Amino acid sequence: MTTIEETVRYREPTPSDLPDIQLIDGAAFPADRYPFFVLRQLLQADSSRSVVAVEPGNDDEVVGYALTIMGEGSRAWLLSLAVSPDRRGCGYGRGLLARTIALCQEKGDADEIWLTVDPKNVTAYSLFEDVGFVLRVHDETYFGEGQPRDVLVYKLRRISAADHR
């Protein structure tokens, strides 16, 4: 039996992936989708910590994405993570999150990864906690009145020269 790990490829997004990313983003966050120009500028600013999940064949269809940028100090921000509706529950989100963490560790300039999540989004919240993110703060008006978010943080392990042997 073939598993997701054997068929999916994770790579840095390219400008040609933007239409797929926008479709997935719109399906995942219909009321809060990123405009195309924002997605484009986020990738142009720094795509080296961002990742797409691609299914080989099917014209290398993008089935999920994680957008991550460096913030102030040594804090990376996972701005958005989403998977195509027809691929949810198959392990793509966990794979995207694992690759995001690995990229941030490899870069070596971040000590933590921060993200926000709607406290009612049980599926995403469970995934983040499962991987090791912990609650930093709850804010009832993070995105404005009636828009609560929890800020979660993942402490990165520093990679030493001994880890590369």
- List strands edge to edge, sheet with 134-139: 9-11, 51-55, 61-70, 75-83, 112-117, 149-155, 134-139
The mean pLDDT value for 38-45 works out to: 92
The per-residue pLDDT for 6 is 61
At 50, the pLDDT band (50, 70, 90 cuts) reads very high
Higher pLDDT, residue 105 or 163: 105
At 165, the pLDDT band (50, 70, 90 cuts) reads very low
pLDDT one-digit tens code per residue, 67-112:
999 988 899 999 999 999 999 999 999 999 999 999 999 988 899 9
Pairwise CA distance, residues 92 & 96, whole Å: 6
pLDDT one-digit tens code per residue, 19-28:
999 999 999 9
Place of tokens 């499962």: 130
Asked whether residue 162 carries a pLDDT value surpassing 70, the answer given is: no
At 158, the pLDDT band (50, 70, 90 cuts) reads low
The per-residue pLDDT for 82 is 96
Can you give the residue ranges of every domain in the chain? 4-156
At 58, the pLDDT band (50, 70, 90 cuts) reads low
Whether the Cβ atoms of residue 64 and residue 71 lie closer than 8 Å to each other: no
The per-residue pLDDT for 95 is 96
Which amino acid is it at 22?
Q
Whether the Cβ atoms of residue 52 and residue 13 lie closer than 8 Å to each other: yes
The per-residue pLDDT for 2 is 42
CATH number (3.40.50.720, 3.40.47.10, 3.90.1660.10, 3.40.630.30) of 4-156 reads 3.40.630.30
pLDDT one-digit tens code per residue, 126-151:
999 999 999 999 999 998 999 999 99
- Here the contacts of 43-48 (C-beta below 8 Å, separation 24 or greater) are 43/13, 43/15, 43/18, 43/67, 45/69, 46/70, 47/12, 47/13, 48/12, 48/103, 48/107
Q: How far is CA 19 from the centre of its chain?
A: 17
Question: Helix 122-131 to helix 92-107 angle, to the nearest 10 degrees?
Answer: 40
Instruction: Quote the percentage of the chain above a pLDDT of 90.
Output: 75
The per-residue pLDDT for 1 is 38
